[in-house]
Amino acid sequence: MSSATIDSAVSEGTTTSELREQFEPIFARIAEGAVERERDRRLPFDESGWLRDARFGALRVPVGNGGFGATVRQLFDLLIDLAAAESNLPQALRVHWSFVEDQRLAGDDRARRWLEAAATGTLVGNAITEPGVGSADRYRTALTRRGDDWILNGVKYYSTGSLYADHILVAADRDGERISVLVDGNQDGVTQSDDWDGFGQRLTASGTTTFTDVVVPEDRILGPGYGEPGRTYATSYLQLVQLAVLAGIAARAESDTIDWVRGRTRTFTHAAADLPRHDPLVQQVIGRLASAAYGARAAVLAVADELDTLLDAGGQDPELLDRAEAAAAKAQSVVIGLVLDSTSELFEVGGASISASGLGLDRHWRNARVISAHNPLIYKQQAVGAHLLNGDALPYAWNAGRRPGVQA
């Protein structure tokens, strides 16, 4: 890494208390409208704008490049709190964080340019997955020459967060080579649709993006794209964003349930106390919800510590890569179980009235169930077992030696 272009001294970054002081009031403001947004299916454009204005996307940008210089642990601590306010937003920003990380690791002049853009609040979305294509080596989206220009054409699905973003990271094929390019969200030929129809995480803007004769400047061609074989920090990093969302959902489910119980005066004739908040069985459920939220946060931050060690060492050490990936896979198994159980069990504290649609408590389980399905748990559990028993390689998504953001 060139110290002349990238200041990676995160140890001199903003303290955790300073970061919380700056962002927690924004999270609280975002949380105020969460139930109404869910009910009305209103995408959080305003709320993502508040994060942009506050330069939330600059958390991992080094101080020398205008950012906060946060550690990975600090980032994920805040992502959990943001997810507690609005679970859709951390997922929508998922690829932004890996894009920033790629620039930190690249350490060249072009990376400095994008770090400085992120430092001003610029956000990056993604368009990687394609409808009906089961493998990253079969992209139909293509980057081709037309005269002196590079032209992008294709259709993508699961374009998570791109409607909220300034730029979109696109995976494409260029003469048989997987390539990553960066286009502007409002660029001519870019059409975005909010047609994601899952029963949870409905506000992530994970719909279809169509590219029709989009001109891509040479300096927006970033290098090999998603699907290159080999170890990479990005596999565990991107998975950890999903786990942070789950930890935030657990925290909000806990607080919402406590608020509901405290205000409830009606109980069952055979209950152990006149008021639900004095009922030992209700108290036990609240204790389990609190424990699940605590355990989920602890697991996420433990993996974040592994990623801090890995990335501080340059992001390519094979042993550290495997440690981080194994930690993320094991944490996935723990966190998913805790959160799905707690978001279902919360309904045990009351009668049918707790299912009132106006409370929106069902959104916690729906959102947790959908976010948990993005990287199926059964595959991660099998991979960990095979790795421990037989030394089988852990599954990775990107080539660590040829990262997107690094010129081919």
- Mean pLDDT per block of 10 residues along the chain (408 residues) reads 40 86 98 96 97 98 97 98 98 96 92 96 94 66 95 95 96 90 96 94 95 96 75 93 98 97 82 82 96 98 98 96 96 97 95 91 97 89 92 70 34
Alpha-carbon span 383 to 42, nearest angstrom: 38
Alpha-carbon span 184 to 188, nearest angstrom: 9
Alpha-carbon span 400 to 304, nearest angstrom: 18
The DSSP line for 118-142 is HHTT--EEEE---TT--STT----E
- Domains of the chain, start order: 10-123 (1.10.540.10), 142-224 (2.40.110.10), 233-390 (1.20.140.10)
pLDDT at residue 228, as a whole number: 64
pTM of this structure: 0.92
99-103 long-range contacts (CB < 8 A, ≥24 apart) are 99/124, 99/169, 99/404, 99/405, 100/57, 100/60, 100/61, 100/124, 101/60, 101/233, 101/234, 101/237, 101/311, 101/315, 102/234, 102/403, 102/404, 102/405, 102/406, 103/6, 103/405
Residue the block writes with tokens 């009031």: 25
Query: Which stretch of DSSP H or E encloses residue 293?
Result: helix 280-312
For the chain, what's the residue count?
Answer: 408
User: What is the rounded (10 degree) CA torsion for 285, 290, 293, 297?
Assistant: -150
Query: Going by C-beta distance under 8 Å and a sequence separation of 6 or more, which residues neighbour residue 123?
Result: 48, 51, 52, 57, 93, 96, 161, 164, 165, 166, 167
Contact 188, 211 (CB under 8 A): no
Q: Please classify residue 154 by burial: count the beta carbons closer than 10 Å to its beta carbon, then call 0-12 exposed, 13-18 middle and 19+ buried.
A: buried
pLDDT at residue 229, as a whole number: 67
Cα separations in angstroms, 170 against 158, 189, 275 = 12, 14, 55
Question: What are the backbone dihedrals phi and psi of residue 221, each rounded to the nearest 5 degrees, phi first?
Answer: -90, 110
User: What is the rounded (10 degree) CA torsion for 84, 85, 91, 94?
Assistant: -90
Sign of CA dihedral 83, 236, 97, 5: positive
